[in-house]
Amino acid sequence: MALKLENVVPWGRCLEEYVKMFDLTSDDLKLNIVDCGGGPASFNFEMTQLGGKVISCDPIYQFTVEEIQSRIQQVYSQIIEAQKATLENFVWQDIASPDELGKVRMAAMNKFLADFPQGISQKRYVKSELPNLPFTEGKFDLALCSHFLFIYSNILSADFHVSSIVEMRRVASEVRVFPVITQFSGETSPHLEPVINQLTDRGFQVEVRKVDYEFQKGGNQMLWVR
């Protein structure tokens, strides 16, 4: 089924947040990285500016920069109003308010939009989606997945999670997934334990690690797989 842009809620994060979400060290940032479900994040752009090597994957990259920008403008105020209506579900520390959140997110997404045409031509942005990635085995050192797996446990099955993580591990030596809670309840995803069990049974080394990042309450852990 073809992806419809009206079903997409684009919301991008920056390099600084990626570093905290995935506990990325200076050595990690030198690795060959694939960002799965990268959306309109500025991570790829900022890493490229620093000489890093990142390929971002997302089905949204099939659309033009103008189409993505228009969709961002359509959903922006809705997202901010939703944040204001659920203040108690978030930790307002590094980001002090929904209005500041909007400024931070728009700054990241504007960097993405400015970089997207060139990034497409340089094949840094690739139209693809989990659990099928168009890369050879072991192409990357590190695969990242932010705010896709576990967050949408209400619509994505445990088997989908396992297939996606196994696919990321196929193309990368190490996988990190953040966070491991669901979007609305803020509780640990019901898929987490069965996913860990299935991955362990397949011989993967799996850990849940605490990170120095918490915006949605309870969302301060990532899944680490080797």
Q: How far apart are CA 77 and CA 87, in angstroms?
A: 15
83-96: average pLDDT: 93
Tokens of 29: 């940032």
Q: Which pLDDT band, with edges at 50, 70 and 90, does 9 fall under?
A: confident
Nearest to 34 by CA among 215, 150, 193, 164: 164
Cis peptide bond prior to 59, omega within 30° of 0: no
Q: pLDDT averaged over the chain?
A: 95
Please tell me the predicted confidence (pLDDT) of residue 81: 94
Could you read off the pLDDT of 120-175 as tens digits, one per residue? 999 999 999 999 999 999 999 999 999 999 999 999 999 999 999 999 999 999 99
Paired strand residues for 172:
140
Query: Domain extents for the chain?
Result: 5-225
Q: Residue 3: is its pLDDT beyond 80?
A: no
pLDDT at residue number 25? 98
Average pLDDT over residues 51-58: 98
Q: What is the pLDDT of residues 104-125, one digit of tens each?
A: 999 999 999 999 999 999 999 9
User: Hey, what long-range contacts does 100-109 have (CB within 8 A, 24 or more apart)?
Assistant: 102/76, 104/14, 105/11, 105/12, 105/13, 106/76, 107/14, 107/42, 108/12, 108/13, 108/14, 108/40, 108/41, 108/42, 109/10, 109/11, 109/12, 109/40, 109/41, 109/42, 109/72
Phi/psi at 35 (nearest 5 deg)?
A: -105, 105
5-225: CATH architecture: 3-Layer(aba) Sandwich (3.40)
- For residue 185, name the pLDDT band (cuts at 50, 70, 90): confident
pLDDT of residue 5: 74
Report residue 176 as tokens.
Answer: 């990190």
